Amino acid sequence: MIRIFVGVGGNDEDLEFQAVLHYSLEKHASEPIDLTWMRLSRDPSSFWYSDPQRKAGWRTDRWATPFSALRWGIPAACNFEGKAIYMDVDMIAMADIADLWNQDITNGAMLSKPEAICVTMYDCAKMKKYLPSIEKIKEPRQYLEVRRSVLRNGCVQRYKGNWNCLDLRRDSGGEYGDLHDPEIKILHFTQIPTQPHLRHAMPRLAKEGRKHWYTAMPRRDHHRKDALEFFDKMLDEAIAHGYTLDRYRNPTPFGDYGR
Amino acid sequence: MDLITYRRGLARLAREQKEKRQVVIDQLAECGDRLMHTLRVAMRGDGVTVYRIGYYDPSSKVENWRMLGELDTLDDALAYVSYLNGGPKPSGPPIKPPS
């Protein structure tokens, strides 16, 4: 079983990408997947409990997103046993995630791209020695603190393959001409204002009387028309296969992030 | 759906649940599987029967009973349980998140 954890907002902001990511992972996977959506919860018994108004639980101050540092809680969420993959929600799997899952972590405790840790596979037991306590991780500003610490301590081993292709850029410079280039294992729409699902999510949220968590800059179209078309095609395909948006709604929306 | 139809549906589901669970238990026994997979027959709000598949993960601090998703037919659900036990990936529809 491939354990995957994905960080998402708590107020249904990114349902379209949840459907596309989930469907694309299942479509290509050659082994079963257990996917956990990590989102803040008001339930004190939840592992993801947060109450920003009372400054309790996960403290999202200074996080870029309402889920940035949840990734550091994954080894503890797995009781420091086995392996687990973290990924952002704004991604499309283009290859079999088992090809990442079955890579060995021989040097350090996590497989990732050190300059962009948006896709990471943890050896949860080995991570224990590199991470502060879960209570410490929940404190404000810990996202960057922990990131600096794990990078400094050399626990990151680079994976084989481009499992985090940032907006179609090549690691060696330049851009992929074909988004179906076999080097691209996961396509990551990392620049938030140009994320393709926002064209659908923002009008939907407006109809529901809600807003997206990202408000820093206005939305604009991605510079690659083929990427926009591909996202729309995948969204249609996902919905046609039963990966409908309502299946991803948070039954108890989080409400005010206090950010 | 009226109340009588609903109750009859629930009674049918209870019978099916028992029968299908036995099928799964037999299949797991054959595979010698150590994971505790479950297959539940459930009725959606619109009266349609679905087949939900989960497993027990004692290490999870999030939720020990892990719901993997659901399928529309028993054959698809059994094929997925076989996949969980190391069988080939089913060629039918992919497992969907629970409704």
Label residue B27 by pLDDT band (50, 70, 90): low
Q: What is the pLDDT of residue B6?
A: 62
Neighbours of A207 (CB within 10 A): 8
Residue B37: closest C-alpha in chain A: A1
B35 and A1 within 8 Å at the Cβ level: the answer is yes
Instruction: Tell me the β-bridge partners of A175.
Output: A169
Per-residue pLDDT band for B73 (boundaries 50, 70, 90) equals confident
Mean pLDDT of A54-77: 93
Report residue B23's pLDDT band, with 50, 70 and 90 as the boundaries.
low
* Residue B73 at interface with chain A, using a CB cutoff of 8 Å: no
Give which of B69, B73, B88 is closest to A23, Cα–Cα: B69
Q: Are residues A58 and A37 in contact, defined by beta-carbon separation less than 8 angstroms?
A: no
Pairwise CB contact (< 8 Å): B94 & A241:
yes
pLDDT at position A129: 93
* Residue in A66, A56, A83 with CA at minimum distance from that of residue A1: A83
Whether B44 has its CB under 8 Å from any CB of chain A: the answer is no
- In the structure encoding, which two tokens stand for residue B21, read together? 């669970």
Burial bucket for residue A44 (CB in 10 Å: 0-12, 13-18, 19+):
exposed
Domain regions of chain A by residue span: 2-248
Chain B hits for A22, CB-CB cut-off 8 Å, are: 97
Average pLDDT estimate for A168-187: 95
Tell me what pLDDT residue B20 has.
Answer: 67
Structure tokens at A226: 């083929």
Beta bridge partners of A158: A112
pLDDT of A79 over the 50 cut: yes
CA atoms within a 13 Å half-sphere pointing along the CA-CB vector of A127: 30
- Give the SS3 label for residue A243: coil
Q: Evaluate if residue A62 carries a pLDDT over 90.
A: no
Handedness of CA B75, B80, B81, B83 (dihedral sign): positive
CATH number of A2-248: 3.90.550.10
| Mean pLDDT score, B29-51 | 66
Mean pLDDT is highest, among A59-63, A196-200, B70-74, B86-90, for A196-200
Interface membership of B35 toward A (CB under 8 Å)? yes
Give the percent of chain A with pLDDT over 70: 100
More confident residue, B53 or B42: B53
Return d(Cα A163, Cα A101) in angstroms, integer: 11
Q: Is the confidence at residue A214, as pLDDT, over 90? A: no
Per-residue pLDDT, averaged over A190-219, amounts to: 91
Give tens-digit pLDDT for A83-136: 999 999 999 999 999 999 999 999 899 999 999 999 999 999 999 999 999 999
Please check the confidence at residue B38 and state whether its pLDDT lies above 90.
no
Sequence-distant contacts of A133-140: CB under 8 A, at least 24 apart: A134/A73, A134/A76, A137/A69, A137/A72, A137/A73, A137/A76, A138/A57, A138/A58, A138/A59, A138/A69, A138/A73, A139/A59, A140/A59, A140/A61, A140/A62
Q: For A163-167, A189-193, B32-36, which range has the lowest pLDDT when averaged over its residues?
A: B32-36
Model confidence at B33, pLDDT cuts 50, 70, 90, reads very low
More confident residue, A138 or B60: A138
Average pLDDT over every residue of A51-60:
93
Q: With 70 as the cut, is the pLDDT of residue B34 above it?
A: no
Find residue A84's DSSP bridge partners. Answer: A122
Q: Closest-CA residue in chain B for A45?
A: B62
pLDDT of res. A163:
97
Q: What is the pLDDT of residue A226?
A: 96
CB under 8 Å to A9, separation ≥6 — which residues? A39, A65, A66, A67, A212, A213, A254
Question: What was the pLDDT predicted at A230?
Answer: 97
- Give the contacts of A148 (CB within 8 A, at least 6 positions apart): none
CA dihedral (B32, B33, B34, B37) in degrees, to 10, reads -140
CA distances from A229 to A199, A204, A223, B27 (A): 12, 19, 12, 43
> Which secondary-structure segment (H or E) carries A84?
strand A83-87
pLDDT given for residue B37 in this prediction: 63
The band of B3, judged by pLDDT with boundaries at 50, 70 and 90, is low
Tens digit of each residue's pLDDT (9 = 90 or more) over A19-52: 999 999 999 999 999 999 999 999 999 999 999 9
Report chain B residues whose CB lies below 8 A from the CB of A7: none
